Structure 1
Amino acid sequence: MLIDTHVHIGTILDFEMREEDVIYSMNRYGVDFSLVSGVNAAEFDHNGQRIPDALQTPQNQVFESTLRFARRYPDRIGVTPWMKLYAETPDDGFIRLLEENRELVYGLKLHPFHSRVAPDDPRAEAVYEIARRYHLPVVSHTGGCEEARSVHLYNAALKHPDISFVMVHMDLGSDNSEAIELLGKADNLYGDTTWVPVKSTLKAIERWGSGKLLFGSDNPIDGPDTYLHNKTGDRSLYQEYFNEFRAMISPEDYDNIMYRNAARLFRIDLK
């Protein structure tokens, strides 16, 4: 069993992640279930510049397109709608989509790097109200700018102890040490493995145990074979997770990280 908690579809900036690539990769590399958000909800580019309105897609439209994908594969695809915190607030239309498709929605997605709004900013409170009301975890990109530092998600977790939070990337581009330290300071705070070196994941297991970590990948950011190689053809980090990592830890720890923790946290029915 393998659950990938961090998968995307959509096209914006230099991202082009196709639905067919997600399904292809799941079939080829043995992924049983993926949690998906739509990248075309990004509000800022990689340099922190606002994406022109003409190139943006409204939040509810992105939500609808992700739901359509999940409806085609309800036993394999779940939705974590990307929340556009800078310019939009979840409205009645968003709530209606959520309630009408509740069985397809497994969490809520923040991206402070592409929204330039920190998780402990008051603008995120509307998201947490929804998360609490519908018992949804909140997953958030961490790393790359001040707003996306893991400490801001930690602050949100402390303020909202009844909501589960996941630090996606555990501070992308860093040595992950700050995020790993924060993992043990809030019972409702977790980390995922997206672009996290195996050696950092091993440190987190040694420090806090395997119950704090979830497998995630950003698939298919490097194309349909993201799980196999990167865009330059070099072996993917995820091949190490699929292969060598298994021998580095106990079978129970491996299963916790690769699917059991995700199934418990997101209430995914293991069939």
Structure 2
Amino acid sequence: MRIDMHVHIGYALGWDMTEDMVLQSMEKYNIDFSIVSNTESVKYDHDFKEVPKEMQHTQIESLKRSIDFARRFPDKIGVMPWIRPESERLSKEFKEYIIDNLDIIYGIKMHPYHSHLAFDSNNLYEYLDLAEELNLPVLIHTGGCNEASPERVYNMALKYSKVNFIMGHMELGTDNENAINYISKLPNLYGDTAWVPIESVIKAIKTFGSEKILFGSDNPIDGVDTYHHNPKGEPSLYQQYFNDLKDIISKEDYDNIMYKNSIKLFNLNKILKLK
């Protein structure tokens, strides 16, 4: 079994990730379940320049598209609302919409880089209060800027000990050691594998065990074949997860990473009819 807990839809910043692309890639690469967030709520581009207002979508607009997708394929697709704490407060409408759809919402997604907002900012408190109230894990992009540092996620994990936090990418673009060190310090800190070399995952297992790493990919950021190759035709590192990693680590560790940890953290037993 394969569960990908870090998947996207949306047209933003040159990305055009459609629902059909997600479904096609899942079918082609044997992904049983994907948890999706909508990138259309990004406010800042890769250079921290504000996206034209006519291209921005409110967090509830983005969530409605994700909900519609999951409603059509509830046995394959779950949702993480993409929040915009840099520019939106937690409105009554947004909160009620989440509560009304909790059967297909499994977490909350925040991107400090494209929000240009530090994850330990006071702006996050009301959203993390909601995560605690509803027992929803929080996925945070880490890497690329100070606002998205593992240390800031650690700070919030200390403050919100009842909320489970997942460091997306385990600090993208680094050797991942800093993120691994922070994850090892708290029981409510996890990491995902999106663009993380398997060597770092092996190091993480040796540091804190396999129970705190979840398979995630950013699919379909490089197209339907994100799991296989990039637009230049170069092999994707996810082929190593599918083909090599299972021969390097134990079956128990491999199964934890590829699906069991996500089943436990996101409470997917009922949806996947597993015990």
The two structures share one fold, judged by TM-score above 0.5: yes
Residue number in structure 2 paired with 1:166: 166
CA apart distance, 1:104:
0.7
CA apart distance, 1:50:
1.5
Q: Give distance in 2, aligned partners of 1:85 and 1:129.
A: 13
Residue number in structure 1 paired with 2:50: 50
Q: Give distance in 2, aligned partners of 1:10 and 1:214.
A: 23
What TM-score do the two structures reach when normalised by structure 1?
A: 0.99
Q: Give distance in 2, aligned partners of 1:210 and 1:55.
A: 40
Q: Does 1:186 find its partner at 2:186?
A: yes
Residue number in structure 1 paired with 2:68: 68
Q: Give distance in 2, aligned partners of 1:210 and 1:12.
A: 34
Q: Deviations over 1:95-144 (max 9, x none)?
A: 12112111010000010010011221100001101101111000000000
Q: Give distance in 2, aligned partners of 1:16 and 1:126.
A: 31
Residue number in structure 1 paired with 2:153: 153
Q: Does 1:265 find its partner at 2:265?
A: yes
What TM-score do the two structures reach when normalised by structure 2?
A: 0.97
Residue number in structure 1 paired with 2:12: 12
Q: Deviations over 1:217-258 (max 9, x none)?
A: 000000011011111111111000000011000000000000
Q: Give distance in 2, aligned partners of 1:268 and 1:98.
A: 17
Q: Give distance in 2, aligned partners of 1:65 and 1:93.
A: 16
CA apart distance, 1:148:
0.5
SS at match of 2:103: helix
Q: Give distance in 1, aligned partners of 2:131 and 2:254.
A: 28
Q: Give distance in 2, aligned partners of 1:44 and 1:266.
A: 29
Residue number in structure 1 paired with 2:104: 104
Which one-letter code corresponds to 2:27 in the other structure? N
Q: Give distance in 2, aligned partners of 1:242 and 1:14.
A: 28
Identity rate, percent: 48
CA apart distance, 1:52:
2.2
Residue number in structure 2 paired with 1:130: 130
Which structure 1 residue ranges, 4+ long, deviate > 2 Å from structure 2? none
SS at match of 1:151: helix
For 1:200-219, list aligned pairs within 5 A: 200-219=200-219
Q: Does 1:36 find its partner at 2:36?
A: yes
Structure 1: runs of 5+ lacking an equivalent? none
Residue number in structure 2 paired with 1:59: 59
Q: Deviations over 1:19-55 (max 9, x none)?
A: 0000001011110000100000111100011112221
Q: Which moved more, 1:44-53 or 1:162-171?
A: 44-53
Which one-letter code corresponds to 1:168 in the other structure? G
Which one-letter code corresponds to 1:100 in the other structure? D
Q: Give distance in 1, aligned partners of 2:78 and 2:176.
A: 27
Which one-letter code corresponds to 2:202 in the other structure? L
Q: Give distance in 1, aligned partners of 2:157 and 2:50.
A: 28
CA apart distance, 1:13:
1.2
Q: Does 1:23 find its partner at 2:35?
A: no
Q: CA RMSD in A?
A: 0.7
Q: How many residues in Structure 1 have an aligned counterpart in Structure 2?
A: 271
Which one-letter code corresponds to 2:128 in the other structure? Y
